[in-house]
Chain A
Amino acid sequence: MSMTTSATIILAAMVAAYIAAKIFKISTELSMLAAALVGGLVGGAGLPARHIAEGAFTYLDICLIFITATLFMNLLKESGGVAFVVRRILKRFHKHKFLLFIMLAVLMLIPGMLTGAGSVTVLIVGGMVATVLGYMGIPKPKAAAIVFVIAGLSAAAPPVSLWAMLTAAGVNMPYVGFFLPLMIPCLVLALLTIFILGWKSKPVDLEQALKELPEPPARMNWLKIVLPFLVFFALVIAGRIWPFDFPIMGLPLVFAFAAAITLLLSPVHIDFLDVSRRTVHQLLPLIGTLTCVGVLVQIMTLTGVRGLISVTVVTLPAMVVILTLFLTLPVSESVLMWGAAPVLGVPLVLLFNTMNLNPVIALAGMSVIWPLGDAIPPTAIIGRLTVETVGMKERYSTFLKYCIIPAVLIILVGTLMVIFSKKLAFLTVF
């Protein structure tokens, strides 16, 4: 039997297992796990304990980031810090919509730029921003769309853009020259998003808003909120400025320090163990998805299914590939998350290389489109996280509807960057 036939059969069995699991009301995470296990069985690997465990390892460090960052945010919320900030921002800026929007967009870009993870943006500032937007008369699904889209752009923005970094590493291309090709589209698109979706917002009814917002503890002040963030940025930036004298901390530990400081400075008593347990419970779907995706990719690689998908993609006509990027990139992201970069990004960049496109610009264009996939079911990891953080009660599809306009803009910009990458090569200066 040819490899194509066998891989196609295994893929079909995996898809069938996934659908069957879904019919039996099994969660997306476990359905993916079921697909992986069936893939292993049909692929003749039995129940390969080693491969299951190794796949589960794929995103261990990212899981640690999520846990520590969310713990930090939850502690900040418990201490009354979030309520404090929201009230102060409203008081200061409620009359200047234009300034407020620019400030919120930049505020949202920063965490993801530095960490490469849109979820960190959602967790750190997403909730607060959504609250402010809410008092400007923007409905929650729309606010969620703003937070989600800008969070995705923040993840694609330099200096840390994981899709670009992972793909560049996969083709042994140095991660240099990406700053402007990533920064310019991300900044422009973030501002466009908040202005377009926020266009119909009303000036805040300050008195009403302040009456409804929770009252922060009396002893809360700016210092207690800013200090943990300062420590966070100081540690990250110190690692950048003195990389050879400052110890390598890694993001999880930096977040853990910020969390510890928040806990120490809290004006109210916080039950740390209880908050920690709730944090882990709250994150279970997200971490579970990451873990099961890892197992799935490992089994797909083991059985040749991953190769079938890759080779099918790269052997399609080049123009078809470019014009369907708007579909393939988000879908691959929704299935594999960052795994999409090594699985799909690497063959795509190699394909573009043979077409004489500029790989840096083309990859930057792709990196802007990729994060959109984080809203697409079945995984929809960051989309779900956003909806949860924002506290939206409406149907998920309402949120998706509001994402369409910015998504179209992003797709347009990204695809044009790929097509005209050679003309834009002057941007790859640093």
Chain B
Amino acid sequence: MIRKTIIITLGLILLVFSGLSFYKSRHLKEPVVIGPGVTQVKKLSEYFPAIKGSANDANVYVLEGAKKGGALLVLGGSHPEEPAARLTTWILTENATLEQGRIFVVNSANRSATTVTRPSGAYPASYTIKTDWGGQTFRMGDRWANPLDQWPDPEVYIHYPTRQNLAYMDIRNLNRTWPGRANGTLTEKTCYALVELIKKENVDIVIDLHEAELQYPVISTIVSHQKGLDVAAMASMVLSDEEFKMGMEKSPLELHGLSHREIGDHTNAVPLLFETPEPFLDATRGRTDEKLLLEGKDEFVVRAGKRGLLFEKIDEKGWPIDVRVGRHCSTILQVLDVWSQDHADKAVALRNVPKYDEVIKKGTGAFLRDPSKADPKLIYYE
């Protein structure tokens, strides 16, 4: 009897401590101090009311230039476990200004997936970016939406509308549920809402920010729908010439559910997907912790690289977060440059976004604003 009481008590202690940890990381508040360029903050449910009140009713930050022009949608957090993507959207929403055109920024495209970490993945609960004023902490997140928001999974996920069979858990993967389904699962509805946004706001370009493991062949590249090949090719050429090596590839026609395929097929917008290297995601990674996430240094991944198994270089310097965020910032700027030259009437002129060199020199944290010193009216939570 005493023995049983002890065992049960130990179990309860485990339950309380783990439960608290899960609860805290799920409800961790991530402030966004909107910058001078943001003119409106909308809710995604304004474009599709069915997701109102759900975990995925994301903020949509709207930046508008004085001059009329084109429209850009930037998606961060399609896969929240790829932090450079979300951090880049923070830099945009907190710093950018716009001379011409409109930009819509979604920092948490699959917000539900920011509230969970992967079973057997051993992810840290959160990560902190150092700043002059201390630091800002972000939810770690996963590739898939939280089962607390979408449960159960089917035994096989059949993609709408192509009926392509995909792995069952990918029904919670935002970059497998495009173009979305109005009466589908939460993740499908989220894509549907984003597609509604693209249509209603006449978005010209959609940029979907990602990171990838170095073992994945699609890395350090712009993946483009066939509509956007000119822009992507030109941007990657200039970037490789002036800043860092950047590839370009065409979205495969038969791979369904991905943003660079379906947004292009179902809307007038040109979808582009950017990938930067994230050693934290590699299957051969060693100790899994916040350090690896942010510094991107890993002995085992280097070993796999020496064996010729990787599609991107890695050495003992690793792939620090500032390099990855810097790549995303410069790639966005470059794409807009190329686009605006070709489409003067639909130009988007973005200012006050740091380039690659500047992000590396000053650090990502230099572009995060201190919420404790900001006007509370300017603070939004992701």
B283 touches A354 (CB 8 A): no
Other 18 A-B pairs with CB < 8 A, given A174-B164, A248-B185: A3-B298, A3-B300, A50-B18, A160-B156, A165-B156, A244-B160, A244-B161, A244-B181, A252-B152, A294-B119, A301-B122, A307-B286, A307-B298, A314-B307, A315-B306, A346-B283, A350-B215, A350-B283
Shortest distance between the CB of A168 and any CB in chain B (Å): 7
Contact B284 A347 (CB under 8 A): yes
Q: Is B299 an interface residue (CB 8 A)?
A: yes
Which residues of B sit under 8 angstroms from A250, Cβ to Cβ? 152-155
A152 within 8 A of B: no
Interface residues on B, range: 35 or more
User: Which B184-211 residues have a C-beta within 8 angstroms of A?
Assistant: 184-185
Given A4-B299, A176-B164, A343-B283, A298:B121 Cβ within 8 A: yes
For residue A56, which residue of chain B has the nearest CB? B119
Interface centre among B119, B122, B184 (most CB of A within 10 A): B122
Tell whether, in the assembled complex, residue B18 and residue A3 are in contact, meaning their CB atoms are under 8 Å apart: no
Counting CB contacts under 8 A, is B60 at the interface? no
Most chain B beta-carbon contacts within 10 A, residue among A51, A307, A350: A307
Q: Contacts A50-B18, A298-B119; is A114 near B155 (CB within 8 Å)?
A: yes
Q: Is the CB of B167 within 8 A of A315?
A: no
Q: A351 CA to B310 CA in the complex, in Å?
A: 9
CB pair B163–A243 under 8 Å, yes or no, is yes
Q: How far is the CB of B136 from chain A (nearest CB, A)?
A: 21
What number of A-B contacts does a CB cutoff of 8 Å give?
171
- 19 pairs of residues in contact across A and B, judged by CB atoms under 8 Å: A50-B21, A50-B22, A52-B14, A53-B22, A55-B122, A159-B156, A165-B168, A169-B167, A170-B283, A171-B216, A174-B255, A243-B158, A244-B160, A299-B122, A307-B285, A314-B304, A315-B309, A350-B309, A354-B308
A interface SS class: helix
User: A55 — which chain B residues lie within 8 A by C-beta?
Assistant: 119-120, 122
Which residues in B have their C-beta under 8 angstroms from that of A354?
A: 308-309
User: Chain B: interface secondary structure?
Assistant: loop
From 1 to 48 in chain A, residues with beta carbon under 8 angstroms from any chain B beta carbon are: 2-4, 6-7, 43
A239–B171 CA distance with the chains assembled, in angstroms = 14
Chain B residues, CB < 8 A from A249: 152, 154
Contacting pair A174 B299 (CB below 8 A): no
A58 CB to nearest chain B CB (Å) = 4
The distance in angstroms between the C-alpha atoms of A243 and B18, with both chains bound, is 36
Taking CB atoms, residues of chain A closer than 8 Å to B287 are 3, 6-7, 43, 302-304, 307
With contacts A53-B22, A308-B286, A310-B283 known, is A248 near B153, CB below 8 A? yes
**B164 touching A315 by the CB < 8 A rule?**
no
Inside 8 A of A240's CB, which chain B residues have their CB? 156, 158
Contact (A301, B254) CB under 8 Å given A51-B122, A350-B309: no
The answer to whether B304 touches A311, judged by C-beta atoms less than 8 angstroms apart, is yes
With a cutoff of 8 Å between Cβ atoms, the chain A residues found around residue B254 in the complex are 174, 176
- Are B284 and A298 in contact (CB-based, < 8 A)? no
Interchain CA distance A163-B228 in the complex, whole Å: 36
Instruction: Name the residue of chain B whose CB is nearest to the CB of A349.
Output: B215
User: Does the CB pair A61–B152 fall under 8 Å?
Assistant: yes
- Interface status of A233 (Cβ within 8 A of chain B): no
* Residue A192 at the chain B interface, CB threshold 8 Å: no
Q: Choose among A116, A297, A315 the residue that contacts B120 (Cβ–Cβ < 8 A).
A: A297
> CA separation between A84 and B42, bound complex, in Å?
64
Q: Taking the complex as formed, is A115 at the interface, i.e. its CB lies under 8 A from any CB of chain B?
A: yes
Which A residue sits closest to B310, measured CB to CB? A350
